[in-house]
Structure 1
């Protein structure tokens, strides 16, 4: 058996035996690289209040400090995956790490304004788009079929853990150092990943040496960036405003042109015919729906712990740490559950567990109930860890190994798009409920104070601090109550969406990649 595996690997690497022997060390480097991306994507949230004060950043600038990363990240994933397939995944990964380090250094030492930080975050997003798909495509090429599910489970566990580690690291350094430190927490990790990756990671690429699909790359970037931009800005501009509809229309039209081009060209960056395969198409849909609800949930949890319950950034990060442990543990046991019950049942059941956790989170109120918070949070995280790795494995199994970068980019893009939709739509639902419920409590305030209080919970709490204690206290309670009403409604919607994804998984998700990729794509 081992000899067969070595022969299979030999078609891809110059030193097959040494690659096979060090495959778990390679996975460790890939997971470290992935952790850098996840920390970069989540670490900034806890630093926003300090940045607002120190840099006099507006609400729009604070929003873009977060969104510039995710928009560029989502927009360049396909191009980065294609470049990795063509020119080598190791090289793209290393270049992404160098670019991330440069942007980190500029943000930590050179940036002195919010706009400069926004630019640095955009570069970090580009670097992340180069790093993340490369990690999964290298993993797919290094591990044989019988070990790939376990390796992907560990990869998925690190991805989930990074969502908690980022805020924790940032919260810790902000307790002791200036705001610049928030952008430097990942620098030691980048250095370690660069050195170990240069030594351990083998070279791999598409052996067919197909041409780069430049038109497809440009169309995918323009289309995805426009769609994500429209979704993120819609709560501010209005869902039916001219700006939102025109930009979204531009993105949709561009993506339609992208699909037409990919069907026509001989060397597509994304062979859209892969979506005919259940393992690929249904997995992509499930991932979009799941991350729609989960990212909306994470967005709400941050505000609940800090604005409603009054935790500091570090305290909030520590309180959410059990979620990370739940994701890691469930990701590890997921392959064993798949062996016993099959992927369809494991993914569907995992989604139902996530829906239950999100529903429990929707019941939390103004009084701190950390026991219920931990139970609900860990329930959702446990279900997520169980379901994500087999879904990812199904999706990647449907893609030829030579196009692993394309498959990985699609996997990552579904998560980013689903997450962007979740934050935008569920956040908009929360904001609409809050604005409606807070009106009676602020009707007697001066006009300017009303506008500030109605704009957000944070604004209402700032106004409350400037009022006499009795009046300010009443406004604070009313604002938190109004916010919690919207919070509950948005999470109930999220739970319904996840339950829908469970139904889709139970009904249509195959237990294995049952169809022949070559027959469907090339037949």
Structure 2
């Protein structure tokens, strides 16, 4: 049985927390692990730029589309078994590129791996929330949120080490081995399941997957095609329409995939918004800063990853204590302080130039890291606490879907603003270039520097001009993300709940979604197997 007191964690709880954190790190690390490997993949497989984009984003698309039904499957059939199945699928998908290494097969295997990730991610959080008593749950969720946030950094760092010493194939080998080992270790965890075993919602599952998928596809294609491209506009409209259909369906079915009325709850709704904005800005930042380190400061992929590594410490440490701040002051205070810190960090990033040193960049990165730790863990806890324990799988999936959609939209905004700013500044230099050089120089700084390298010292002035154009686009992108974050901080702070009166907290704990009075503090059904 799981302890409900303030005693030390049991061995089962420690194992549950450790394996859940390792599994979520693996899933989030896989989102960013291939960023540093794309040049090698292109050289070895002949993948085009569009194919490279989908080798990375096919994983994110599958994860975002299927994470809600993945959470529902865990609630109904058992979160441990869904976690194990997801890890097995993840491991098989990661191993497949060892024998299927053409660009189209790489895209297909990444999509397959994303399906496994969609089963893993909500299961990890819902196992934690079901396996820990209420008084311990905040710290456990905080640690989970902290390591989930730092997972992308660890993915970039780990892949940088492997690329430096081996090849891009080693990244897939590492992910496959990690998935296989964790799937075996997960067999030792206790099972957790919703005892009511509500019927699945196939129509809600399909409409939610299609709605999220359409929005993510639009976000993925924006940087390359632009906001007014027919595909982007069509996918955006389809996503909105399907989202409306999903809401209508969920209000009418007897057993909805998720009670859409939860989004009107101030804690649940504002928590979802916080997570979305935080991942939007974080992945927008990664897209900018990794290119800045490599193309402006001249860092190798591994050094670029090491330059991001310090962000992990404040993120994890503050994530562990932030839920206590939310308990004392309510969600409003850490949400505003965290998002404001992230926004301030983006405005400081907007001041970089060719003469900026790494230490000048490190300060804003640490400020943003602290802000992420301050607001994300309380937001995740608010999402989970807004639902009964029996439905924590779906609540965890909402948290995860918010992360994936936010990441995709953040990359879209960051990439499109960067491309527009770069294109605007580089345009005057294009007419004087040979026709064969105009397109690559106009596309990106990376391509421009390749042209400069082939031309030799005579083209050095073009390289400096291209760097200046990139920095212009980067500054504009950082400013847009900064204003977006500060605006969100103000709006969310006005919406998020403040500190609850003690009596209200007690009352809410006595009657949550029709559960027995003690159900919120314990586990719906946990059996050691």
Q: TM-score, normalised by structure 1?
A: 0.93
Residue 504 of structure 1 corresponds to which residue in structure 2? Answer: 491
1:74 counterpart = 2:64: yes
- C-alpha separation in 1, matches of 2:82 and 2:109: 19
Deviations, residues 194-228 of structure 1 (Å, cap 9, x unaligned) = 222111x2111111111010111111111111111
What is aligned with 2:140?
151
Between the aligned partners of 1:152 and 1:264, the Cα distance in structure 2 is: 32
Residues 503 and 357 of structure 1: CA distance in aligned 2, closer, same or farther (over 3 Å)? same
Distance 1:5 1:112, change over 3 A: closer
Instruction: Note the C-alpha offset of 1:3.
Output: 10
Q: Say yes or no: does 1:53 pair with 2:43.
A: yes
Q: Aligned with 1:184: secondary structure?
A: helix
Equivalent position SS for 2:355: coil
Q: Residue 21 of structure 2 corresponds to which residue in structure 1?
A: 31
In structure 2, how many angstroms separate the alpha carbons of the residues matched to 1:436 and 1:521? 54
Report the equivalent of 1:461: 449
Instruction: Indicate how the Cα distance of structure 1 residues 277 and 57 shifts in structure 2: closer, same or farther if over 3 A, else same.
Output: same
Aligned to 2:12: 22
Q: How many residues align?
A: 508
Instruction: Decide which moves more: 276-285 or 331-340.
Output: 331-340
* Partners of 2:329 and 2:499 within 8 A in 1: no
Q: In structure 2, what is the Cα distance between the partners aligned to 1:257 and 1:521?
A: 25
1:407-426 to structure 2, matched below 5 A, reads 407-426=395-414
Alignment-derived partner of residue 524 in structure 2: none
Contact in 1 for aligned 2:31/2:59 (Cα 8 Å): yes
Asked if 2 retains the 8 angstrom alpha-carbon contact of 1:274 and 1:517, the reply is no
298-307 or 156-165: bigger deviation: 156-165
- Do the aligned partners of residues 211 and 518 (structure 1) sit closer, same or farther apart at CA in structure 2, a change above 3 Å counting? farther
SS of structure 2 residue aligned to 1:5: coil
* Aligned with residue 473 of structure 1, among 436, 457, 460: 460
Matched residue of 1:81: which SS?
helix
Give the direction of change, closer, same or farther, for the CA distance of 1:338–1:204 in structure 2 (3 Å limit). Answer: same
Residue equivalent to 2:102: 113
Rounded to whole Å, the distance in 2 between the matches of 1:496 and 1:412 is 24
CA distance in 1, matches of 2:320, 2:350: 28
Q: CA deviation at 1:247?
A: 2.1
Q: What is the CA–CA distance in structure 2 between the aligned matches of 1:352 and 1:128, rounded to whole Å?
A: 31
Structure 2 alignment gaps of length 5 or more: 515-529
Say if 1:466 and 1:241 are closer, same or farther in 2 by CA, change over 3 A.
same
In the other structure, the counterpart of 1:89 is 79
Aligned partners of 2:153 and 2:223: how far apart in 1?
26
Q: Does 1:169 align with 2:158?
A: yes
Inter-partner Cα distance in structure 1 for 2:150 and 2:241 = 37
Instruction: Name the SS for the 2:352 alignment partner.
Output: coil
Q: 1:3 to 1:260 in 2, by over 3 A?
A: closer
Contact in 1 for aligned 2:274/2:335 (Cα 8 Å):
no
Displacement after TM superposition at 1:242 (Å): 2.1
Give the Cα separation in 2 of the matches to 1:360 and 1:75: 34
- 1:312-331 matches, within 5 Å, as 312-331=300-319
RMSD (CA atoms): 2.2
Partner residue in 2 for 1:231: 219
TM-score by length of 2: 0.92
**1:202 and 1:466, CA in 2 relative to 1: closer, same or farther beyond 3 A?**
same
Matched, 1:486 2:473: yes
Residues 292 and 420, structure 1, Cα contact 8 Å, conserved in 2: yes
Distance apart, 1:436 and its partner CA: 0.8
List alignment gaps of at least 5 residues for structure 1. Answer: 7-16
Q: Displacement of 1:189 after TM fit?
A: 2.5
Q: Give how far 1:466 is off.
A: 2.1
Query: Which of 120, 138, 142 is 1:131 aligned to?
Result: 120
Of 479-488 and 359-368, more deviation after overlay is shown by 359-368
Please list, as runs of the form range in 1=range in 2, the aligned pairs for 1:15-414 lying within 5 A after superposition: 22-107=12-97, 109-199=98-188, 201-414=189-402
Cα displacement string for residues 429-448 of structure 1 (whole angstroms, at most 9, x for unaligned residues):
11011001001222211223
Find the aligned partners of 1:18 and 1:164 in 2 and give their Cα distance.
Answer: 31
- CA 1:20–1:252: 2 relative to 1, 3 Å: same
Deviation string, structure 1 residues 248-305 (Cα, Å, up to 9, x no partner): 2222211211110000000000110111211111211222222222211111111111
Contact 2:2 2:132 in 1 (8 A): no
Structure 1 position 5 matched with structure 2 position 11:
no
